[in-house]
Structure 1
């Protein structure tokens, strides 16, 4: 239970920081921001594991960069 609450809180913090550091305005609500932070952590974790079987949690900076990459990808694809 505490893992889920911790993931939601860290996703919110990472999502807010990614929206802050991304150039330009990023219009989205709280739920998409949390999902953005969680997705950024997942992307960064996959990149930092480098194809190994063990999935390591990425650091905060890598998670923010992963979330920024998701914002960019969404803009390129016309989603956001």
Structure 2
């Protein structure tokens, strides 16, 4: 249970970092960026764990956080493309 809460909080922070790395106008605002960070943390952390062979519940793993940031930046980019094409 604590693992999921930690991932949620880390995902919010990762979303803010992704927003700082990729400045610009987001149609969704802070909350959407936060949710993108959470999704990026889960996906990027999971994939980096598979690549580097670490357990997802092993605690702090720099590769998981780096993968989370990369995943959040990619998801933020895709989100911007999807919302840009609608308007």
TM-score where L is the length of structure 2: 0.64
Contact 2:46 2:64 in 1 (8 A): no
> In structure 2, which of residues 47, 53, 68 is the aligned counterpart of residue 63 of structure 1?
68
TM-score where L is the length of structure 1: 0.68
Equivalents in 2 of 1:3, 1:59: separation in Å? 13
Give the superposition deviation at 1:78: 2.1
Structure 2 residue runs of 5 or longer lacking an equivalent are: 57-62
Q: Secondary structure at the match of 1:59?
A: helix
Task: Say which one has the larger Rg.
Answer: 2
2:30 match: 29
CA offsets 1:22-60 (integer angstroms, 9 cap, x no match): 132335133x2332112112332354325xxx7854521
Q: 1:33 to 1:24 in 2, by over 3 A?
A: closer
